[in-house]
Structure 1
Amino acid sequence: MLQINSKDNNLFKRIKKLKQKKYREQERLFLAEGIKFLDFLKTPEFIFIDGDFDYSSIQERLDRFSSEKYILSSQLFKQLTSQEHSQGVILVYSYEEYSLDDLEDNIVVLDKVSDPGNLGTIIRTVDASGFKDIILTTGSVDCFNEKTIRSTMGSIFNVRISYLDEDKMIELLREKNYKLIATALDKTSVPYTEMTLANKNAIIFGNEGNGIGEKLLKEADEKVIIPIYGTAESLNVAMACGIIIYKVRELLK
């Protein structure tokens, strides 16, 4: 493995920039940290190892990949890590590109969800429930944010994620004959246990503080709510997503 000790190294400077969204989008690359990522099938473009980390215990897992591998001085590695107690391994992956022509019959739509941890948990939940597709409206958090990637626990590789302008998304879903089911605190909302599904369904969840935007709410064919039996004001959006999409899975049996 090659060693990098200088902060002026061109590759190091390039990879460090990936901590910013605009450079991730330019390069079509993102960072994933932790030994667990060595167990997934997707081949990273690069693997970086902390110079203070004894990697002999994971040598066999490293050897599975033909990726370029580098040892960074500990000082440089600390500039890349996003974790307080790093495991000493950072992988760099390329973006996957997905066609919206391949959407499955039941999808999740997220309207300006802003918290990276929430998005990561939703991605993991969608994967666990056996669904494949998530569409986010423009302005939502970046799914390749390092906190999001960590929260997905590898499910980022199993779910197809797209971003669309709100108007274009509505047009697409109408063209493809999806029923729009919105989660909303509204006088017309029915308990989620009573929702009715069509042949194709888009389940919509909104921003943590403001919910679903007015335009999407007006387009909704049905609005559903999760009843609150205690004194909590509301449920976390990731929790709500888990409850409802598992109900959808049950109704699809």
Structure 2
Amino acid sequence: MEYINSLDNNTVKKIKKLKQRKYRELNGEFIAEGRKFLDFSYEPNLIVLKEGVENEENIAPKLDRFKCRKLIVGDKIFKELTSQENSQGVILVYPYCESSLEKLEDNIIVLNNVQDPGNLGTIIRVGDAAGFKDIILTKGSVDVYNEKSVRSSMGSIFNMNIVYMEESELLKLLKERGYKLHVTALEKNSIEYTQMKLQEKNVVVFGSEGNGVSKEMLESADETVIIPIFGSAESLNVAMASGIILYKVRELIKR
């Protein structure tokens, strides 16, 4: 393992830059923080440990699984790199996950301008748990490699095929490939999610937290879907709504 004790070190500077989307996209790398990520098999490009963590009994065997470069840094440097108040002393730098439009399965999640990174990470986790493999985000949505999105996904980001597309190109693709669009929206003709009628190929669309789905997405919907509110709450968080609807879709698929 290498020991670094200078904030002017090029690797330290690079990691700090990866906190910005433009540098993540430029380098094709992203940051994940926390010891849980040492349990996943996805190979990082770099592991950074706060000095002393490398000697902990339950950490060393996990580090031995990975062939990548490993750095040890002092507390001062680690504080410059961490995004968490109570950090566990482990930061990993990963290459972007592979993504492809060629391997889309028959049931897809579409996120239309979702902006909150925590919501995105949770939806990735829920989608993975419900057996979905594909998420398409319209361009303008939050970056999937935002540190909060990665952390909220709890490793499910490594299991999903996640693609960004322009909305017009996405709608054209879905039509050409014969997907039925189930769009979540509060419209007069919206049906309760329990009444969805699935076809062989289906897309479930969730909109942004503040504005819902776009006009173009709404106009392209084959059916609009709602979750009924029985109490006094105005609405449901998009991540929570995705969990309710995606598990219902999974139940309908099994029938």
Coarse TM-score class (shorter-chain normalised):
over 0.9
Structure 2: which 5+ residue stretches go unaligned?
Answer: none
After superposition, where does 1:148-167 map in structure 2 within 5 Å? 148-167=149-168
Please list, as runs of the form range in 1=range in 2, the aligned pairs for 1:34-49 lying within 5 A after superposition: 34-49=34-49
Deviation at 1:97, TM superposition (A): 2.5
User: 1:140 & 1:187 partners in 2: Cα distance?
Assistant: 27
RMSD between aligned residues: 0.9
What's the counterpart of residue 29 of structure 2? 29
Q: Within 5 Å, which residues of 2 pair with 1:212-223?
A: 212-223=213-224
AA partner of residue 180 (structure 1) = L
Structure 2 matches for 1:179-218, cutoff 5 A? 179-218=180-219
Q: Distance in 1 between matches of 2:8 and 2:245?
A: 49
Counterpart AA for 1:43? E
The runs of 5 or more residues in structure 1 that have no matched partner are: none
Partner of 1:252, secondary structure, is helix
Q: Distance in 1 between matches of 2:188 and 2:46?
A: 52
Superposed CA offset, 1:81-102 (max 9, x none): 1111000000110002222011
Aligned residues: 253
Partners of 1:128 and 1:53 lie apart in 2 by 31
Q: Is the 8 A contact 2:115 2:208 kept in 1?
A: yes
1:3 partner amino acid:
Y
**What does 1:50-129 align with in structure 2 at a 5 Å threshold?**
50-53=50-53, 55-57=55-57, 58-129=59-130
Question: 2: distance between equivalents of 1:244 and 1:200?
Answer: 16
> Deviations along 1:95-129, whole A, 9 cap, x unmatched?
02222011000000000000000001000000000
Contact 2:100–2:161, Cα closer than 8 Å, also in 1: no
Aligned mates of 2:10, 2:148 — CA distance in 1:
25
Q: Percent identity?
A: 60
Letter in 1 for 2:30: F
Structure 1 CA distance for aligned equivalents of residues 118 and 10 of structure 2: 31
1:161 & 1:38 partners in 2: Cα distance? Answer: 22
Structure 2 length-normalised TM: 0.97
Q: Contact 1:52–1:74 at 8 Å: present in 2 too? A: no
Provide the rounded CA distance (Å) in 1 between the counterparts of 2:213 and 2:104.
Answer: 22
AA at the equivalent of 1:168: E
Structure 1 SS opposite 2:37 = helix
One-letter code aligned to 1:45? N
